[in-house]
Amino acid sequence: LKEVQTISSMASIHYIRQKEPLGLGHAILCAEQFIGDEPFAVLLGDDIKTSEEPALKQMIQAYETTNQSVIGVQKVDVEEVSKYGIIQPKNKSGSLHEVNDLIEKPSIEQAPSTIAVMGRYILNPSIFSYLKTIERGVGNELQLTDALRVVCEKERLFALELEGQRFDIGDKVGYMKAMVEVALKRRDLRHTFLSYLEGIVEKERANNFSH
């Protein structure tokens, strides 16, 4: 009961439903009335990050250093660039890149790097004005990537290479991997769950051997 009550008092929760599937840019635009003129974070629920220092905390520190919009990124295999927004970096300091441009889901030939946007953003409120001026892009949707390209032109945009492990739970196998890996990180679950997994592996080996 105490745990549930603590959660309910952590923050004031507002929610709004995106009534049409018009893209991430449109979804963010729907939340403008709640944000006003403050910088804000965007966390996509199908990207799970595990790290000693939370991904959002890493990004807040980068924002406090730059005072500019920051996107979370990680390097991906070249074969996967068509799944993501890909940045074109121009300057780098440690794990922080200044972004020259972005391309949404490019082909391997079009991709300017293998550094992909990973579903974590800290944005200045000026993004709303850019979202209102861009046209629909890939998939006939309002793409946040297109608005971020305007940020690159009119302001400055930074990309932070996030530490830690990332799971794409929009993918069935990625979802299952996340459940297993996160469970094994919990002290209250690890011993029992690991024994269960070991039992499954031994049973599968025995079945394969008998066949």
The structure's pTM equals 0.84
- Show the CA angle centred on residue 74, arms to residues 69 and 79, nearest 5°: 130
Q: What is the structure's pLDDT at 14?
A: 85
- What distance in Å separates the CA atoms of residue 86 and residue 113, rounded to the nearest whole number? 7
Structural domain boundaries of the chain?
2-167, 169-211
Chain segment 26-39, per-residue pLDDT in tens: 999 999 999 989 99
Helix, strand, coil shares, percent, the chain, to 5 = 45, 25, 30
Q: What is the structure's pLDDT at 184?
A: 94
* Residue pair 133/123 in contact by the 8 Å Cβ criterion: no
Q: What is the structure's pLDDT at 207?
A: 84
pLDDT at 129 over 90: yes
Query: Looking at domain 2-167, what is its CATH homologous superfamily?
Result: Spore Coat Polysaccharide Biosynthesis Protein SpsA; Chain A (3.90.550.10)
Q: Name the amino acid, one letter, at 173.
A: V
Chain segment 136-193, per-residue pLDDT in tens: 877 788 889 999 999 999 999 999 999 989 888 888 999 999 999 999 999 999 999 9
Specify the length of the chain in residues.
211
- Show the CA angle centred on residue 142, arms to residues 97 and 168, nearest 5°: 60
Chain segment 86-128, per-residue pLDDT in tens: 999 998 899 999 999 999 889 999 999 999 999 999 999 999 9
